[in-house]
Structure 1
Amino acid sequence: MDANRWRLTRELFEAVVDLPRARWESRLAELCPDDAALREEVLGLLRADADATGGTAIAQHAPNVVAELAEHLSEDPTVHAGLALGPFRLVREIGRGGMGAVWLADRADGQFEQAVAIKLVRGGWDRAEDIARFRAERQILAGLSHPNIAHLVDGGMGEGGRPWLALEYVDGVDLGRWCDKHRLDLADRQRLFLTVCDAVQHAHQRLVVHRDLKPSNILVRADGVVKLLDFGIAKLIDADDAQVSATRVFTPEYAAPEQVRGETVTTSVDVYALGLLLYELLSGQRPYKVENSTPAAYERAILDQEPTRPSVAATRDGGGMSAANRHLTPARLRRELRGDLDAIVLKALRKQPTDRYASVADLAADVRRHLARQPVHARRGNFRYRATRFLQRHALAAALSAVAVLALVAGLGVALWQAQVARNERDTARQALAFMRTLFTNADPGQKQRGDLTARDLVDEGVRSVRRALAGQDAARADMLLAMGSAYLGLGLPDEAQPLLDEAGAIAQRLGDTLLVARILDETCSVLQYRNRADDCVPLVDRIEAMLDPSDPEHVETLVRAIDHRSTAHAPRNRHDAIVADSRRALALIPATADYDRLRADVTGTMAFSLVRLNRAAEAEAALRPLVDALRKAQNVEPRWLADVLDNFASTLTTKTDEALALNAEAVRLMESVYGADSPVIAGKVSNYGVALYKANRYTDALPVIERSIALNRAGGTPRATSLANALGNLGALHFQLGHDDASRAALNEAIELSEALQRPLDIGRALRWRANLSLAQARYADARADAQRATSVLAPLNKPESITVLRGRALNLAIDYAERGSAARTDAACAEAQGIAARFAALPEAGTPEARLATLLHALCGAAPAEAFKTAYAALPPDDFRQRQVRRIEAAWRTD
């Protein structure tokens, strides 16, 4: 019976079931006059229902019914406390389900300490069925042994013949809530889901279908271990159903269509339930929209509706909370779910069991393929499907043909392989040499009749020559195309680089050259990052890691650079712990030889950057100083390499201002010597120098440097947009510090607009906070409060609650309140907040900074001498610090009161 017919059948059944039996046929004829077969199906259901309930002998079961009702009405949680069952003694009730109550119990025989969960089968009017289900559950659990399934400890019959089961006690929370509480990203959620799949597959291998998989039956302990619970309605696949239950028992929200229709239950029921679970873990939503949260409404939705794609459901009603719980923006969450994950989940949720994954293992395998960035089977194309079906129909002929072809190929391969390799190597060497000769000839100004050839001219000529010089030599041509693409990117020309990388990638794929494919993917990562699409690089890095062998020396450099690229995607989300961990892993892969010094320096610089942001600057300095000393002594060091190392090292010298400034200035000069003073490529080093001057309180010196970095970024166009947004934020902060309020607001407005377009939450939050500070100094309190609160909403999900970033936001919001409301803002709650902020600042390395001193003022205003607090604050703050203006605003409000 299809879903529509079942829905009609159910509606007719519900419309007639309460009528006297004599009126069934006439009423059905009125409701369904044109479908005699459907009327017969409904009559069959009505008669079966009457037969099942007509012989219930309710009078015979009345004592049990009354006893159970009394037990529920009493709602006394201590009714069985202290009851001894076998070696256990009940402590307290911890749950109640369809079969009865679940109690926490302790071992009471003195042999050893043990806490268990004991199921007490309820007293019921169908007691024989309950006992049969109890025995089935005990038998099922006895046959399961898996670290992620709560195991059977003991069981027996209590006084009055009441059955009980002692199970492993799991002190945890359900899987969904645990993931949200720990704000796991999508990859970690999928890995936990795979743990559940392994447990369910273990049960299936032992011919057990759980039949009631749902979040409340999957708990996670405090140590992160997943436990699958409640096999109370599980089904033995090879058992006689009558021996277990003749009743349809399931949770409507997590039931498969065949369960709702009352059809045969197979392992596909659990596949469907796991699809629902994965849907919720990924999107934070349910796949069906129901008007009323009733069992009937859920059943109708399961039968009639097609599930909404997770990528669409995830951003329903904005999706802000779901995205924040996964360290993503709503737009990014939608993009992450679109494609593979949509396909995997929807395949698991197909209405017909035969259209789903054939097993839980197949579902898990597709999830693993997605995590490894490999093609998932849920998205197989039509051609492959048709080819597979053809081979299935002609299996014997196809097998014999394959054997014949393989034999022929093997014979020819043995005969021709050595000769072909020799010819290929000879031809490749000759054509590569010819290509290089042509390239150098073209570099001669006399040959081109011009004396102003640039690096761009040389690369352009090389690209035009590569196809002619290396015709027929695919491997060499792919290598040269990759080199030309890298050269374009080094010149800041990603749009010119990408087509060459695409062409090289197609050749490498055709050749089956794994390492070359990985190198091209890694360079494509560089292009994506240059285009402000670092997130899109992460799947490529995952593919590279899946392709390469870290124990193969030829693979190491590409693998390490790919891991280093992932850090660029982590940085905008403040995931510096992850960057440090990845960097240490990458450093451990690099051989301890001089050949890898450049690679080691790059990765160490990445790690140092994140260590500084984790307030571990001393570790960062210790890691980079030996490298700087070695480069100073070395001969013929590449200027670009030295500039990168010096710039990274300068950022670690947080308390050595003069040395840091000298290093930043030297890095800029080195970059200018290579690329020229007007190249957008040097904008990053110029910006870093300007920021260093700002941090040294040399505001007037910093202004032209930061303005220069902005001009260079603008000249670089779209590829420099991220750097431009960051530089504009720096310019806005600097103008504010110098008292140039209009210029500050203009720069910050542009920074916010550009950062929003680029979806850079850290840059958005920082610029908003600076604009809030500016509005506070200008007494524009409504604007200040709106920006401060929005900055908090953007930055808080990306930072730990105790971080300096969150602390700054709390202090700013409190300062705005004090400036707007004066002493009226001095409530008990505000004073407690001020005390907490001041105490936290005192425990951080930023204890002596102006922002920490402002926090001290906010706390001091809760004391008995506000005038003295203001006097102390003015004296403690640098005379040219913008917080002097904010203190004046607060003081004016306080004195007015």
Structure 2
Amino acid sequence: MTTDPSLAEEAEALALFEQLIDVRESDRDSWIAPLDVPSPVKARLAAMVAADSATSLGTGAAALAAVAPGPARVGAYRIVGLIGRGGMGAVYRARRDTGDFDLDVAIKIIKPGLLSDQLTQRLAAERQTLASLNHPNIARLFDGGTLDDGAPYIIMELIDGRPADRWADAAGADARTRVGLVVTAARAVAYAHSRLVIHRDITPANVLVTADGTVKLIDFGISRAADAATTTATDVYGLGRLLARLLPAPDAEIAAITAGATAEDPGARYPTVEALADDLIAWRDGRAVRAMAGGRGYALGKFLRRHRLSASAAALALVLLVGALVAVLAANRQARIAEAETSRRFEQTRSVAKALLFPVYDQVARVSGSTAAKAELARTGLAHLETLAAMPAAPPDVRVEAGRGFVRLAEVTGGGQAGQLGRYADAAALLARAETLILPEWRARPGDRATALAFATLRLEQAGTNLYNNNAADAARAQAGEAEAALRPLAPAGARC
């Protein structure tokens, strides 16, 4: 093992390391290789890079090697152990043992005499940066200053946690939990961005997770204010790399999200960390993610998978509705023939229904903003139908026709179709009134085509109302089934309900 380099070599290596901070981690070896510097300097620089990659100077990194003893105290804090070391110094665990309260902290101490003016300014900026951030997922800054030997220091919240990837592996975390870690980190980063602060070094070692699963973002040692040369795209990239580290074998959607965060061109990445977090939350919730170019079919598939039970019920109800509609169309011609042969008992009911509920309705439906006209139609039609239905000893056929009129009136008032008044409670009452007229006649004459058609129409309208207005798929399915059963005996040979 070689001895430690001289202070001069350390200072030269540190100056180079200061420049290297801005180089992406994957490009650092190629940046170091062509340097024309003494071998000890290059070796020390490589050691700093290795230390920076393996453990940051944050408040949770593991120790790399033995170091010279640190100070016994820093102000009101007694040093109780070494947490870790890096190229610029070391981080110690300390305990406040004076005053009226106890507190364990992490103290970062930079080696004296090694900082250039720019690095000194950067450390001061770190203290100012951390002091301005107050977020439950960002390690807090308590104090800072300079020791007697000139070594700068900062006193920070002590985070007893593991790097995110190690915590996830040890906990056997599933994909949803791992994605949740990135989402929480992204929200903390978004908060920092809202304060015009960019972290610039988001790695698993700087995203710690405590025993209770709390995420803490640490080490703003190279953070800086956002400017033209340093954008939030840097942290989007860092979060993307964190996601890739946590999910090395992603599904297609996570792979697309990762690619969208780590694109070589910063302009092709997610525009903000919030946008990245939104896509991850969408994935976690089973919704379509923006990074996938799957079109409407992809989005529909995600919706159906997310709502399997309700979608299955709705699909079944829809199948029954369509089947019943086919039967209605098949039987409609026979019903029209039967209606043409009825006696004068139907004339008044038929004229009212046709005049008020069909031609007038069709004309009103073509006019935009016709709510008032529809209301008048509803009032007039209801008055006529109530009169006919209340006639003493009204013949069964008249009661059935009046019931059909109530069904049409319910459609206009608040049925499950477009262009209605939206009075759902009134529509439900009208359908209930129609049932009191039609149901007894259908039970008495289930083989009568006109009565069966009226009953089926009533049940289909009730099914549509339950499905679209009440979101009651089970009730809609049952009512559509009753309509189909009523019409099946009436369908022509070979027709299917």
Are 2:304 and 1:377 equivalent residues in the alignment? no
Answer whether contact 1:218 1:228 (CA < 8 A) is retained: yes
Counterpart of 2:330?
none
| Change in 2 beyond 3 A, CA 1:86/1:410 | farther
Maintained 8 Å contact 2:442/2:455: no
**Cα distance, 1:92 vs structure 2:** 1.7
Distance 2:235 2:181 in 1: 17
Residue 349 of structure 1 aligns with an amino acid whose one-letter code is T
Q: Distance in 1 between matches of 2:171 and 2:441?
A: 59
Contact 1:82/1:91, CA 8 A, preserved across alignment:
no
- Which runs of no fewer than 5 residues in structure 1 stay unpaired? 1-9, 19-48, 240-263, 287-309, 312-337, 385-408, 449-463, 480-503, 524-897
Identify the match of residue 345 of structure 1 among 258, 279, 282. Answer: 258
2:369 matches 1:412: yes
Task: Give the deviation of 1:134 after TM superposition.
Answer: 1.2
Measured at CA, do residues 102 and 14 of structure 1 come closer, stay the same or move farther in structure 2, by a change above 3 Å?
A: closer
| Counterpart contact for 1:349–1:356, Cα < 8 Å | yes
Select 1:113's aligned residue among 62, 78, 102.
102
Equivalent residues of 1:432, 1:469 under 8 A apart: no
Q: How much has 1:124 moved relative to structure 2?
A: 6.8
Counterparts in 2 of 1:465 and 1:381: CA distance versus 1, 3 Å: farther
* Contact 2:112–2:152 (CA under 8 A) maintained in structure 1: no
Q: Deviations over 1:811-864 (max 9, x none)?
A: xxxxxxxxxxxxxxxxxxxxxxxxxxxxxxxxxxxxxxxxxxxxxxxxxxxxxx
Residue in 2 that maps onto 1:190: 179
Query: 2:83 aligns to what SS in structure 1?
Result: strand
Mapped to 2, the partners of 1:103 and 1:121 lie a distance apart of: 11
Higher Cα Rg: structure 1 or 2? 2
**Would the alpha carbon gap of residues 441 and 189 (structure 1) be closer, same or farther in structure 2, given more than 3 Å must change?**
farther
Shift of 1:422: 2.2
1: distance between equivalents of 2:91 and 2:140?
15
- Displacement after TM superposition at 1:467 (Å): 12
Give the C-alpha shift of residue 125 in structure 1.
Answer: 5.3
> For the residues of structure 1 that align with 2:170 and 2:78, how far apart are their CA atoms?
33
Match of 1:422 in 2: 413
Q: Shift of the alpha carbon at 1:228?
A: 0.8
1:210-249 pair list within 5 angstroms: 210-238=199-227
Say if 1:173 and 1:220, in contact at 8 Å, map to a contact too.
Answer: yes
Paired residue type of 1:276? R
Deviation at 1:372, TM superposition (A): 3.7
1:874-889 paired onto structure 2 within 5 Å: none
Say if 1:99 and 1:130, in contact at 8 Å, map to a contact too: no
1:162-198, CA deviations, whole angstroms, 9 ceiling, x for partnerless residues?
1111110011112233233333343343334332222
Partner of 1:136: 125
TM-score, normalisation: structure 1: 0.30
What's 1:870 paired with? none
- Cα distance in 1 for partners of 2:144, 2:436 equals 81
Query: Can you list the C-alpha shifts for 1:616-666, whole angstroms capped at 9, x where unaligned?
Result: xxxxxxxxxxxxxxxxxxxxxxxxxxxxxxxxxxxxxxxxxxxxxxxxxxx
For 1:275, give the aligned amino acid: G
Aligned: 1:156 with 2:137: no
Deviation at 1:342, TM superposition (A): 4.1
SS of residue matched to 2:105: strand
Matched residue, 1:279? 244
Aligned mates of 2:215, 2:177 — CA distance in 1: 13
Deviation at 1:266, TM superposition (A): 1.2
Q: Is the 8 A contact 1:219 1:228 kept in 2?
A: yes
- The structure richer in strand per residue is 2
CA 1:369–1:383 in 2, change beyond 3 Å: closer, same or farther? closer
Quote how far apart the aligned CAs of 1:277 are: 2.3
Measure the CA separation in 1 of the matches of 2:290 and 2:146.
49
Give the residue type in structure 2 aligned to 1:146.
H
Cα offsets for 1:176-221 (capped at 9, x unmatched): 3323333334334333433222211110100111111111111122
Distance 1:98 1:379, change over 3 A: same
- Match in the other structure for 1:268: 233
User: Cα distance 1:76–1:229, how it changes in 2: closer, same or farther (>3 A)?
Assistant: closer
Q: Is the 8 A contact 1:432 1:476 kept in 2?
A: no
Instruction: Give the 3-state SS of the residue equivalent to 1:115 in structure 2.
Output: strand
Distance 1:439 1:188 in 2: 58
Aligned with residue 463 of structure 2, among 455, 468, 476: 476
What is the Cα deviation at residue 367 of structure 1?
2.7
Distance change in 2, residues 1:433/1:189 (3 Å): farther
Which runs of 5 or more residues in structure 2 are unaligned? 1-26, 52-63, 298-365, 379-410, 416-426, 478-497
Q: Deviations over 1:389-433 (max 9, x none)?
A: xxxxxxxxxxxxxxxxxxxx9981654675575274388669888
Q: Secondary structure at the match of 2:291?
A: helix
Q: Distance in 2 between matches of 1:416 and 1:372?
A: 45
Does 2:278 match 1:365?
Answer: yes
Instruction: Report the secondary structure of 1:167's partner residue.
Output: strand
Which of 88, 92, 108 is residue 103 of structure 1 equivalent to? 92
Identity %: 35
**Distance across 2 between alignment mates of 1:356 and 1:417:** 53
Distance 1:219 1:364 in 2: 18
Taking the aligned partners of 1:434 and 1:216, their CA distance within structure 2 comes to 75
Change (3 A) 1:347 1:470: farther
| 1:145 Cα offset (Å) | 0.6
Q: How large is the RMSD of aligned CA atoms in angstroms?
A: 4.7
| Contact 2:261–2:270 (Cα < 8 Å) also in 1 | yes
Following superposition, the deviation at residue 441 of structure 1 comes to 8.8
The whole-number CA distance in structure 1 between the counterparts of 2:172 and 2:65 is 37
The one-letter amino acid paired with 1:135 is: A
For 1:699, the equivalent position in structure 2 comes to none
In structure 2, what is the Cα distance between the partners aligned to 1:219 and 1:212?
13
**Aligned residue in 2 for 1:175:** 164
